Amino acid sequence: MSDLRGLRELVGVEHPIVQGPFGGLSSVALAAAVSDSGGLGSFGLYGYDGDRIRAVGAELRAATNRPFALNVWLPTGDEVEPNAQHMIFAQALQPFYDAVGIETPARPDRYLAPLDEQLDAIWEVAPAVLSVVFGVPGAEVVDEAHRRGIRVVGTATTVAEAVALEAGGVDAIVATGMEAAGHRVSFLRPAEESLVGTFALVPQVVDAVAVPVIAAGGIADRRGVAAAFALGASGVQVGTAFLATDESAVTAAHRAAIHATAADETVLTRAMSGRLARGARNRAVRAIEASGTIAPFPMQNWLTGRFRAAAGEQGFGELQSLWMGQAAPLVHLETAGEVFAELRAGVPRG
C-alpha cells in the first residue's frame, strides 16, 4: 500500500514526484522548476569536484527556496585510475576526435573527484536529500547526513539491492526498472543480470522493505504515475520526460532524438562510459560496439566525454550520449511545468 503522506513528510514536498538526476546533463533551471512546482528537483553531481558542487549549491539556493536533492555515484571498487593504457584506448577513439576537430586527450591526473571531496561540499550545501547510486552508502555517510537533517535515498535495480539499502539505513528507495534512461545502477550483481522491469520490480520491493519506495523507469505521463501507485509505490521518479523540456541542459540534437526514437530503438550499451546504460543507438555507439574496444569505467566515460562535449557544441547528435528511456515516444510536452502538471494528474488523492 503506497504511503503518499510518508514520502511528502519525509522530504518536505507537496507532491510525491521526483525529477531524475542526470549525471552530466543536470541544470539548475530544471531542478528549481520541479522543486518550485512542489516536487523534488534533483541535480546529478557525477564528475563534479568540491568547488563545483559548492557553486551549484549556491545557484540552486538562489533559484529556489524549496527542497532539492543532490545525487552522487558511490565508488564500486572497480574504477580504474589513469594509467599507461590511457593512450591505447584514446587512440582507438581517434576517428571521433578527428570528426569534431580536437586533439587526442592526454592522460589527466584523475578521472573523477574522490567521494569524500564531494561529500564535504554536499554537507556545506545541505540539500534536503542526498541520493546515491551504485551501492549502499557507508554508515558514517548516513549518520552524518541524518545529523545534518539530510534524508538519504538509495537506488535499487533488484529486490536484494533494496533489502541491502534498507539495512544500510536509507530513508527511501528508488526502484528503477530496466526501461529507465541512462546507467543501470546495479551493485550486487552485474547489470546484465539485474534487468528487472518496473512493473515486476516495484511491487516486489514494496513487499520486501518498510521504507517508502519511489518507482522509476517507463513513467512519462499520468498513466504511468497511476500505475506506479497501484503497484504500491509512495512516489515516482521521472527522467526522460523532464530531460526533453526547455529547462533541461540537453542539446537540441539530444532533445530531437528523444522525440524521434521508438521504444524498441533504445539499447543497453557500455560503449560510451564502460558501464551499461540505456540510450539511442547512434553512430558512436554502433562504431564503438563494432570495434570491440571499450575501456573500463571511468576511463571510457572520460575519453568519450572529450568528443561528446565537442559534438554537443557543434550540434552533432550522432557523437553524443543520447540517454533516454523506453517511454521516450510518450514525451511531447515542452516545459517542466507542463510535464509536472501531467504527472501530478496521475497521483491519487489523499
pLDDT tens digits for range 260-318: 999 999 999 999 999 999 999 999 999 999 999 999 999 999 999 999 999 999 999 99
Average the pLDDT over 239-253 and give the result: 97
Give pLDDT, residue 325.
98
Contact 131, 31 (CB under 8 A): no
- Assessment of whether the complete model's pTM goes beyond 0.85: yes
Domains of the chain: 4-78+112-258+329-344 (3.20.20.70)
Query: Chain-wide mean pLDDT for the chain?
Result: 96
pLDDT band of residue 5 (cuts 50, 70, 90) is low
